[in-house]
Structure 1
Amino acid sequence: MEELELSRSARAVWAKSTNGEGDWLPLWRHMDDAADVAAWLFDHWLASSVVRLLAAEFGGDVVAARCAVMFLAGAHDVGKATPAFAVQDTGLAQRMRELGLYMPTEKRDLPDRNLAHHTVTGHHLLIGWLVDKGWRKSSARTWGIVLGSHHGVPLDSDSENTPTFFPCLYGTGTWETVQRELLERVAVRSGAAERLDQWRELKLSAAFQVLVTGLVIVSDWIASNEDLLPFLSGELPEVHEEPRRVSRALEELRLPGAWRPSGGPDSVAELFRTRFQLPDDAQPRPVQHAACELARTASEPGLIIVEAPMGEGKTEAALAASEIMAARWGLGGLLVALPTQATSDAMFDRVVDWLDAMGAEDQQVGGAVTLSHGKARFNRLFQGLVRQGRRPSQVGSDEERHRTSHAVVAHSWLSGRKKSQLANFMVGTIDQLLFAGLKSRHLMLRHLGLAGKVVVLDEVHAYDVYMNSYLTKVLTWLGAYRVPVLALSATLPADRRRALLEAYQQGREYGSGGASGQEPAAIPDEVDGDPGYPLLSWSDGNRVDTKHVGPSGRRTEVALDSLGGGVDEDLDALVSLLRDSLSDGGCAVVVRNTVGRVLETARRLEREFPGEITVAHSRFITADRMRKDSELLDRFGAPDRAVRRPQRHIVVASQVIEQSLDVDFDLLVTDLAPVDLVLQRMGRLHRHQRGVEQRDRPAKLRSARAYLAGVDLTQGPPALEEAAARHIYGTYWLLRSAAVLQPRLGGEVVLPEDIATLVQRAYGPDQVEPADWQEVVSDAWKKWQESSEERECRARDFQVAAPTKPGKAIIGWISANVGEADDGSQGQGQVRDGAPSLEVILLQHDETGNWFTPEWLSQGTGKLPVPREETPADDLAQVMASCSLRLPLAFSNAEAEEELWQATPVAWEDSPLIYRLPVLLVDQHGWARIADRQIRYTPDTGLEVYDSAN
């Protein structure tokens, strides 16, 4: 590497001001460090798929891509070589003045400094330097924007148009000479200097600009860590190369490298046997085999949509296909996104088991894993991996890894909202993926984390219009990054299937390296309508195709009937049904569409079946919800876990039961819902084989039976349960569901054969309802259309733009952003429709006014005294945080929030674990009032809200 001298003036420019020992960091040193860190990340940390993506901008030249990344990382802080920045440190600024770099002695003498943040000045200095070398400004802007974005927000048009009018902020004379010196040094050190003439006509894609900005941010953060890269001593340290400085720092950081799987055994059966601990004679189901074969034969990464019945092993198919695709195309990790925290927790265990099985085969798995949702800190497995990650041997040699209990750890540096998405393996709620479409600070880091992973979207049918708007936008960017995506669903409406494929293909056209030059292939007609079931749909390059996969042989005939008894007054009919059906025992689940109906039903059934009722819904504190989920799996899960299945029991649940848990019941009563969700609930019937021909089930329940409630089908059109129709699903989709299910009453629904047919009919364009329903259905359709258009418009307010044609700088990419994306309820409100619900900490008080954690908590965490005049210790705050509870939307108002915050001790604001949560104080029997409404909380029934008159 050519040794470049710097003038004394250039050596005096500072990047980090004086520390307590009097040491400081010259700008040249920091620029060298950032460039060298970026080079190391490019060589050792980036997935090879991302390296290939960046190299595509340079005709596939990996060396050129590395030079460009190193150059931009080294140049990132050149904007600090300006009076606007340097004036901030009195002593270091004076030394610079003595060497010819004039600036005022006081910051107040530069009143417009706010217009010249060093990201802004760096952006303009690089553009000017490149233009002086013969570049067109439009091309130079696509490079300069990386410098302008490295604090997490790209410049907008206003920032772009102002600064050069303020030479006193940028500096003239010696300042200009120093700025050129520093940029020339970076160009020569990185190898960019000899390539600048070749690059001047390049049209950098938006994908390149976003990903390299993310890489520069990471490089800057590491290079700014004084513990890893110490400051220098002396007034004017000599310029010299330190080849081991950065390598020593990164050895200490022990940042995990990319996952590099082998792809597993050639035999799909052997792959499944080794990864999922199956018996030697087990064979993958047809859909699993087809997904893996598609992963092995596709010509390039694309979107694969897997539609198969509940319990068919879609998750295992996705994990196996992910390993194959990662090995083929050099992906460095995996993201699994799910609808809820509960599904995420369950999936996290499965993913870690899969990685452990891979590690047992002596594959190179060692890397970082994260569970990403607002309650991740309460997941025991994840917290164990966090503790493992703090050990010195966190990601060391093979011998060190074999001494740990798992193949992966939760790396301590890759924690927090800004860096967790950079972990190799990530399991989290769908919000974590949707945030990639939200205008928010440091969005480039989310995209960098996604670009090197295989992405698995589970339960993709579970998202509404608002969330789907974000999902299609994110899929467009994933297409631009050539990220393989597996979308899993029991079944999808044809228009939704088409929308996902079109979004991915749109991004592919404007990905890294420019548009493909091909017109996107038309989506074939087979994607629409009823192309068969189970079904694979996929994109492969410019082509989109579908394939009907043979059934596995699993088949459940569900006898379907109506519960009767009216819409809101069906409890007598329910009791009569359950008494008869469960007379010889059995396990039933009653699914209601609202928590209010869950609680009302549970109260009545508890009187009729005392001690045989379990309640499950979303209004439990975190600790209780996790306990109840575990108890449900212990009682009603797979036979190898539910070894003590109750002789007779009834679970009364909200929608949490349809997605969150692998549970198995003998009898289902469900409120009417959109047909795909009704089918999903039916998937909880006879989910597991219990004895030969179900002989372990009561004689009356050896055939699966389901009953529709929450609808009066004796009327035409049917009467609907008001809350579900108005606030949850909408009248139109409930009527369409009723129309396709009504002809099956008194007969049966066969799973999986009938799933696709029912869904496509309910969501398709044809009239399915009787003629005398038509007027009501047409009116409901118009209202739904208006609501959908309004919600989609609202969703677009904070969405990033789709990738543009190469050559356009990402100026203003996240203008008017929402700030930092947040894992909590406020952040979820950014990518989910409606106002975010208020989250509180539930505590108890006794008659003397003492506060304590709920007395029913287990393992020594219950009835712990809670201080009000001082900040709770972290251990206690962790227990308090596990008592967090999301209130109903009725309390998402200023009056309720003010009342709760008034009761919250000010001293709690200093606790990082609970500072954002107000307190909800209940008495020893669980009673309290919020905004003049009475509430009660118990660990068995959760939160109940009573009318204000009570």
Structure 2
Amino acid sequence: MTLSDAARSVWAKSPDDEGGWLPLWQHMEDSAAVAGALFDDWLAPNVVRLFAEPFGGERDVARRVLTFLAGVHDLGKATPAFAVQHISLAQRMREHGLYMPANKAALPDRWLAHHSVAGHHLLVRWLAGRGWPKNTARTWGVVLGGHHGTTPDSDSVKAARPDEVPELYGSDTWREVQDELASFVAMRTGIESELDALADIRLSAQFQVLATGLVIVSDWIASNQDLLPYHRGSLPPVRADETRVRRALRRLRLPEPWRPRPLPDVSTLFSQRFRLPAGAEPRPVQRAVHELACQLPEPGLLVVEAPMGEGKTEAALAAAEVFAARWNLGGVLVALPTQATTDAMFARVLAWLDAMGADDQQVSGAITLGHGKARFNRLFQGLFQSGRPAQIGCDEADGPRHSVAAHAWLTGRKKALLANFAVVTIDQLLFAGLTSRHLMLRHLALAGKVVVIDEIHAYDAYMNSYLTKVLTWLGAYKVPVVALSATLPPEQRSALVDAYQRGRGGTAGQPDAGTAYPALTSTTGTSSESRAVRPSGRSTSVAVTALTDDLDQLVSVLRDALADGGAALVVRNTVRRVLAAADRLEREFPGEVTVAHSRFIVADRLRKDTELLDGFGAPGRASRRPWRHIVVASQVVEQSLDVDFDLLVTDLAPVDLVLQRMGRLHRHQRDRPRRVSTARVYLTGADFGAAPPELEPAAARHVYGAYPLLRSAVVLAERFGRTIELPGDIADLVRRAYGADEIGPPEWREAMAAARATWLERTEKRERKAGTFQIAPPSRPGKAIIGWLSASIGETDDEAQGQGQVRDGAPSLEALLLVRDEDGRWRTPGWLPDGAGNLPVPREEPPPDDLAETMAACVLRLPLTFSNPDAEDELWQATPPAWEQSPLIYRQPVLVVDRGGYGRINDRSLRYTPERGLEVFDSAG
């Protein structure tokens, strides 16, 4: 097909430094060809199936529709509103009959018809001109309207209508060219002859979202001049070049979808994938999960409730392998509560993939680590291959060989999840429910993966509101989801099932999934069922003792219990209490106390996580377990870290979290000192002599709330002087603590009723607040997703500020910690390893990238005390303006301390040391 000179003169990309430019017709051809190649070779087969569903499963029809939409995505550039932006290119268009004003100033309302929403209108008009119903045409046009990352809303669509602002669209020759270009793409993609038959197809919201995501990726690749060079000359001839895009994608080297072939025998599968010792067999829960994964008739939600240490992670990965093979998923996403647990899981997932690769499986693909500090994870950074031509593809990696690699192009918050395998903090998954730019890419990434959510009990009402919204969309995409917990309240389990089933067309109000423990709950279509699993026989009897909230008593207990050696874990609910306990214990046990909490710089957090695992991890890891030691920690040790202690002292917390902490007690088989040979937990952080117990104020007001603490106190106090059997008592304790029945002595009832009223009011308020920026659930087929991202928060952000978007409360302020020496010069902290300490830091110019990378490892999350404008202004006032030119640290204000670690914010004194982290003092002195 040929094009008129007028159509050939329309530009898509303005001239580069050498005078090359990109005609719109060429960008259309490139984008369509890229979309076709991605459809053929890159999309997970499950996503291809989703695309084919509206067309009766006809894959070829779906391909033609998507390549057409990708080809016409920039149709809105064939308008005066866009073309007038470049003087010389606009003049060339005028010479071929496309009139427009001489400059942008003559079209002051250009912004009303951004080329994305203009493209929406032009495609709707073109399709309506062929006899299409406008409602159907809008479900195609909205893909064009959303290709810059935000779907148009009804107001912007109305304001940009051609009959409202005709001067922005042009007439006569302009309209002929617009129609000519649309027809050109229709012919090139082979859809021209099918358009009449497609007019009655009702596209689902899922199709529109995923199609927009695919068009965005196609546009980005087609816009990369390093891959697809610009043209020279005034009107390059229209010539089909099938090798142009093929060469570009060969250079980009995007990974193919994962195509696993799971081993049929469960014993062999677990032995080879997870390096089980000779003769070891999968545990009953692992066998049951694998069996169910092989039997389920269709993708669904699988909730695994089993004790700590039963191998739920391995069971989930085995299920993911089976699900991916059965239903053609192209990868796996694993979500966890914290950065520390995510880093630990990343190593486990990589080992699983390497074991699969050693079995001659096709595993090669891209992997990503998804959290705000991923660039400091050495294992992940080592997976980036050496040599990055044009920052696109990569050569083979130096160092240890792994089955997967990190891909240079699949990085950043918008593209990273498109990698085959992703190990991420839960925020990355929750962002899929947040009205944010380029959300379609996140959905495109999730729709082709098995999703595993670890520690699913660990999220509050605000985060659960996002989680259930995301589960509804995952259900709509028929994505298999595996949710893991040792301590899941029945009400929360039902909420998860209900949310997923809504996406499958079911309704809320599914029956309680059962009371057995361990248990598997699974969904099929719009129904769910639960089945009991035989316990493994591993059990721990934990003696429970109340302990007054007195540090001298704590010292006395630990002095006696550790007289013959041993490792004790003391868990506090706030950093202030961690440091107070550590102060007192260090005086009694000098050199035998370690502090762990969230207020350490990144480099120190990573070091401490490693030290915990080396000293107190599994027998194969903990090669340097000390004779006697005490770890005083906040909740950072609560989730997913495989650490093992002989004795536990814990603040009162909601019962599921107390049980999680108990899961770090006698976790592995090993010889223990006589006095701690029996597992024992001491419960403190409340005055249990009062009726009801007097709660620690900060935990009751700011951390957990009084009501869940009081209900936890009821069920735990009943065990004082007795034992809790793990896992036998877990289900009953969680069910009673989270149930609706009144519990506790009569004299507690009035206080508990008041606490409950406050709790319900707060929960309702948080859920209402969470809904403000959430996406709508999938709409009925045939309705355009116009306004789907209304009230957008802009870009998502996995740093502390971004986490505030899906976590309740004020976002934490982060600062970059530096040390001022005696001469007033700024330096990196002296204790940093590998020659990174005491480096001078310039203030009059941006630091070099290698120094900036070291400085970025000194980022510190400040307590909420400083989450206020005054503190932020003070820190930014001290930050050199020249640092704004550094891409690695431009977002971080500076906190400068002296050689002793002392500094000030808001006239409050503070101190940072590598042993104790950040301390904030009550007075300004």
TM-score, structure 2 normalization: 0.98
How many angstroms does 1:190 deviate by?
1.2
In structure 2, the residue corresponding to 1:628 is in which secondary structure?
A: helix
Q: 1:448 aligns with which of 444, 449, 453?
A: 444
- The answer on 1:534 being equivalent to 2:518 is yes
- The letter of the residue matching 2:510 is I
1:671 corresponds in structure 2 to 651
1:646-661 matches, within 5 Å, as 646-661=626-641
How many angstroms does 1:544 deviate by?
0.5
Q: 1:469 aligns with which of 461, 465, 471?
A: 465
1:801-880 matches, within 5 Å, as 801-880=776-855
Summarize the Cα distance change of 1:413–1:924 in structure 2 as closer, same or farther, 3 Å threshold. Answer: same
Give me the whole-angstrom Cα distance separating, in 1, the residues matched to 2:290 and 2:389.
Answer: 37
Give me the whole-angstrom Cα distance separating, in 2, the residues matched to 1:936 and 1:321.
Answer: 47
How many angstroms does 1:524 deviate by?
3.3
Summarize the Cα distance change of 1:232–1:206 in structure 2 as closer, same or farther, 3 Å threshold. Answer: same
1:515 corresponds in structure 2 to none
Q: 1:545 aligns with which of 506, 529, 532?
A: 529
Task: Work out whether residues 142 and 808 of structure 1, in 8 Å CA contact, stay in contact via their aligned partners in 2.
Answer: yes
Q: Deviations over 1:464-495 (max 9, x none)?
A: 01000000000011011111000111121111
In structure 2, the residue corresponding to 1:418 is in which secondary structure?
A: helix
How many angstroms does 1:152 deviate by?
0.4
Q: 1:772 aligns with which of 739, 747, 750?
A: 747
Give me the whole-angstrom Cα distance separating, in 2, the residues matched to 1:458 and 1:661.
Answer: 12
Give me the whole-angstrom Cα distance separating, in 2, the residues matched to 1:802 and 1:394.
Answer: 36
How many angstroms does 1:352 deviate by?
0.7
Task: Work out whether residues 25 and 231 of structure 1, in 8 Å CA contact, stay in contact via their aligned partners in 2.
Answer: yes
Give me the whole-angstrom Cα distance separating, in 2, the residues matched to 1:97 and 1:855.
Answer: 65
In structure 2, the residue corresponding to 1:461 is in which secondary structure?
A: coil
1:82 corresponds in structure 2 to 79
Summarize the Cα distance change of 1:508–1:87 in structure 2 as closer, same or farther, 3 Å threshold. Answer: same
In structure 2, the residue corresponding to 1:177 is in which secondary structure?
A: helix
1:941 corresponds in structure 2 to 916
Give me the whole-angstrom Cα distance separating, in 1, the residues matched to 2:16 and 2:125.
Answer: 33
Q: 1:311 aligns with which of 286, 297, 309?
A: 309
Summarize the Cα distance change of 1:402–1:479 in structure 2 as closer, same or farther, 3 Å threshold. Answer: farther
1:258 corresponds in structure 2 to 257
Q: 2:129 aligns with which of 119, 132, 138?
A: 132
Give me the whole-angstrom Cα distance separating, in 1, the residues matched to 2:463 and 2:503.
Answer: 18
How many angstroms does 1:344 deviate by?
0.5
How many angstroms does 1:393 deviate by?
14
Task: Work out whether residues 393 and 401 of structure 1, in 8 Å CA contact, stay in contact via their aligned partners in 2.
Answer: no
How many angstroms does 1:208 deviate by?
0.3
How many angstroms does 1:390 deviate by?
3.8
Give me the whole-angstrom Cα distance separating, in 2, the residues matched to 1:401 and 1:897.
Answer: 41
CA RMSD of aligned residues (A): 1.5
In structure 1, the residue corresponding to 2:648 is in which secondary structure?
A: strand
1:513 corresponds in structure 2 to none
2:206 corresponds in structure 1 to 207
- The answer on 1:217 being equivalent to 2:219 is no
Q: 1:151 aligns with which of 148, 151, 165?
A: 148
1:148-297 matches, within 5 Å, as 148-163=145-160, 164=162, 165-262=164-261, 264-297=262-295
1:698-737 matches, within 5 Å, as 698-737=673-712
Q: Deviations over 1:260-319 (max 9, x none)?
A: 111x21111111111111124211111111111111111111110001111111100011
Give me the whole-angstrom Cα distance separating, in 2, the residues matched to 1:325 and 1:401.
Answer: 30
Give me the whole-angstrom Cα distance separating, in 2, the residues matched to 1:839 and 1:360.
Answer: 42
1:616 corresponds in structure 2 to 596
- The answer on 1:491 being equivalent to 2:482 is no
Give me the whole-angstrom Cα distance separating, in 2, the residues matched to 1:304 and 1:835.
Answer: 34
Give me the whole-angstrom Cα distance separating, in 2, the residues matched to 1:858 and 1:223.
Answer: 43
1:354 corresponds in structure 2 to 352
Deviates more, 1:643-652 or 1:454-463: 643-652
Q: Deviations over 1:570-625 (max 9, x none)?
A: 11111111111111111111111110010000000111111111111111111111
In structure 2, the residue corresponding to 1:491 is in which secondary structure?
A: coil
After TM superposition, where is structure 1 displaced by more than 3 Å over at least 4 residues in a row? 387-397, 400-404, 519-522
In structure 1, the residue corresponding to 2:819 is in which secondary structure?
A: strand
Give me the whole-angstrom Cα distance separating, in 1, the residues matched to 2:843 and 2:802.
Answer: 28
Summarize the Cα distance change of 1:560–1:316 in structure 2 as closer, same or farther, 3 Å threshold. Answer: same
- The letter of the residue matching 2:763 is S
Identity of aligned residues (%): 66
Give me the whole-angstrom Cα distance separating, in 1, the residues matched to 2:374 and 2:551.
Answer: 38
Task: Work out whether residues 124 and 134 of structure 2, in 8 Å CA contact, stay in contact via their aligned partners in 1.
Answer: yes
Give me the whole-angstrom Cα distance separating, in 1, the residues matched to 2:387 and 2:646.
Answer: 43
Task: Work out whether residues 544 and 719 of structure 2, in 8 Å CA contact, stay in contact via their aligned partners in 1.
Answer: yes
- The answer on 1:631 being equivalent to 2:611 is yes
How many angstroms does 1:643 deviate by?
2.1
How many angstroms does 1:421 deviate by?
1.2
Give me the whole-angstrom Cα distance separating, in 2, the residues matched to 1:904 and 1:681.
Answer: 40
- The answer on 1:603 being equivalent to 2:578 is no
Give me the whole-angstrom Cα distance separating, in 2, the residues matched to 1:611 and 1:240.
Answer: 76
Task: Work out whether residues 119 and 145 of structure 2, in 8 Å CA contact, stay in contact via their aligned partners in 1.
Answer: yes
- The answer on 1:508 being equivalent to 2:507 is no
Task: Work out whether residues 383 and 397 of structure 2, in 8 Å CA contact, stay in contact via their aligned partners in 1.
Answer: no
2:403 corresponds in structure 1 to 407
1:797 corresponds in structure 2 to 772
Summarize the Cα distance change of 1:365–1:228 in structure 2 as closer, same or farther, 3 Å threshold. Answer: same
Unaligned runs of 5+ in 1: 510-518, 691-695
2:92 corresponds in structure 1 to 95
2:553 corresponds in structure 1 to 573
Give me the whole-angstrom Cα distance separating, in 2, the residues matched to 1:618 and 1:111.
Answer: 51
2:543 corresponds in structure 1 to 559
Q: 1:645 aligns with which of 609, 620, 625?
A: 625
Deviates more, 1:669-678 or 1:166-175: 166-175
- The letter of the residue matching 2:738 is Y
Summarize the Cα distance change of 1:456–1:388 in structure 2 as closer, same or farther, 3 Å threshold. Answer: farther
Task: Work out whether residues 521 and 542 of structure 1, in 8 Å CA contact, stay in contact via their aligned partners in 2.
Answer: no
Q: Deviations over 1:802-826 (max 9, x none)?
A: 1111111010111121111011111
How many angstroms does 1:235 deviate by?
1.2
Give me the whole-angstrom Cα distance separating, in 1, the residues matched to 2:856 and 2:21.
Answer: 41
- The answer on 1:912 being equivalent to 2:898 is no
Task: Work out whether residues 259 and 330 of structure 2, in 8 Å CA contact, stay in contact via their aligned partners in 1.
Answer: yes
How many angstroms does 1:661 deviate by?
1.9
In structure 1, the residue corresponding to 2:181 is in which secondary structure?
A: helix
Task: Work out whether residues 385 and 407 of structure 2, in 8 Å CA contact, stay in contact via their aligned partners in 1.
Answer: no
Give me the whole-angstrom Cα distance separating, in 2, the residues matched to 1:391 and 1:645.
Answer: 46
- The answer on 1:42 being equivalent to 2:29 is no
Give me the whole-angstrom Cα distance separating, in 2, the residues matched to 1:394 and 1:72.
Answer: 25
Task: Work out whether residues 812 and 867 of structure 2, in 8 Å CA contact, stay in contact via their aligned partners in 1.
Answer: yes
Give me the whole-angstrom Cα distance separating, in 2, the residues matched to 1:612 and 1:111.
Answer: 71
Give me the whole-angstrom Cα distance separating, in 2, the residues matched to 1:521 and 1:652.
Answer: 43
In structure 1, the residue corresponding to 2:582 is in which secondary structure?
A: helix
How many angstroms does 1:700 deviate by?
1.2
How many angstroms does 1:521 deviate by?
9.2
How many angstroms does 1:236 deviate by?
1.0
Q: Deviations over 1:484-509 (max 9, x none)?
A: 00011112111100010110010122
2:757 corresponds in structure 1 to 782
How many angstroms does 1:640 deviate by?
1.0
Give me the whole-angstrom Cα distance separating, in 1, the residues matched to 2:386 and 2:448.
Answer: 25
Task: Work out whether residues 367 and 395 of structure 1, in 8 Å CA contact, stay in contact via their aligned partners in 2.
Answer: no
Task: Work out whether residues 390 and 411 of structure 1, in 8 Å CA contact, stay in contact via their aligned partners in 2.
Answer: no
Unaligned runs of 5+ in 2: none
Give me the whole-angstrom Cα distance separating, in 2, the residues matched to 1:701 and 1:657.
Answer: 20
2:715 corresponds in structure 1 to 740
Give me the whole-angstrom Cα distance separating, in 2, the residues matched to 1:369 and 1:649.
Answer: 37
Task: Work out whether residues 39 and 66 of structure 1, in 8 Å CA contact, stay in contact via their aligned partners in 2.
Answer: yes
Q: Deviations over 1:514-541 (max 9, x none)?
A: xxxxx5596234x15xx11111111112
How many angstroms does 1:166 deviate by?
1.4
Q: How many residues align?
A: 923
In structure 1, the residue corresponding to 2:756 is in which secondary structure?
A: helix
Task: Work out whether residues 818 and 829 of structure 2, in 8 Å CA contact, stay in contact via their aligned partners in 1.
Answer: yes
Task: Work out whether residues 388 and 409 of structure 1, in 8 Å CA contact, stay in contact via their aligned partners in 2.
Answer: no
Give me the whole-angstrom Cα distance separating, in 1, the residues matched to 2:110 and 2:695.
Answer: 62
Summarize the Cα distance change of 1:639–1:737 in structure 2 as closer, same or farther, 3 Å threshold. Answer: same
